[in-house]
Amino acid sequence: MLYVIFAEDNADSLEKRTAVRPAHLARLQLLQDEGRLIVAGPMPAVDSNDPGVAGFSGSAIIAEFHSLEQAKAWADADPYIAAGVYREVTVRPFKRVF
């Protein structure tokens, strides 16, 4: 089943986000390589593809997992959580229509 992982950043998290981004992307690449990743990306804090020093307000990931518990466990192990980038992460089942 698909799950959406919606994460909201802490204020002023750009430096922390940048520092652990390679580890974060490596985990996403594994999902991609397994054919389980539908979409993933950050949400710019301003209306621009390159928000510069404004940074990001959070991230969204839609991926396939065997269960909600597995999706939550995967999300909880994200390097952005350990580094203090995310202040809140929500994981919910997602039904793809298109």
Is residue 94 a part of any domain in this protein?
no
* Per-residue pLDDT tens digits for 4-28: 999 999 999 999 999 999 999 999 9
Q: Is 10 helix (H, G, I), strand (E, B) or coil?
A: coil
Domain that holds residue 12: 2-86
Structure tokens, 36: 């389980």
Q: Is 15 contained in some domain?
A: yes
Instruction: State pLDDT tens for residues 28-65.
Output: 999 999 999 999 999 999 999 999 999 999 999 999 99
Evaluate whether residue 13 is within a structural domain.
Answer: yes
User: Average pLDDT, whole number, for the chain?
Assistant: 97
Please check whether residue 59 is in contact with residue 14, taking contact to mean a CB–CB distance below 8 angstroms. no
CATH number of the domain where residue 28 is located: 3.30.70.1060
- pTM exceeds 0.85, yes or no: yes
Determine, yes or no, domain membership for 91.
no
Asked if 28 and 5 touch (Cβ cutoff 8 Å), the reply is no
What is the tally of structural domains in the chain? 1
Q: Is residue 29 classed as helix, strand or coil in its secondary structure?
A: helix
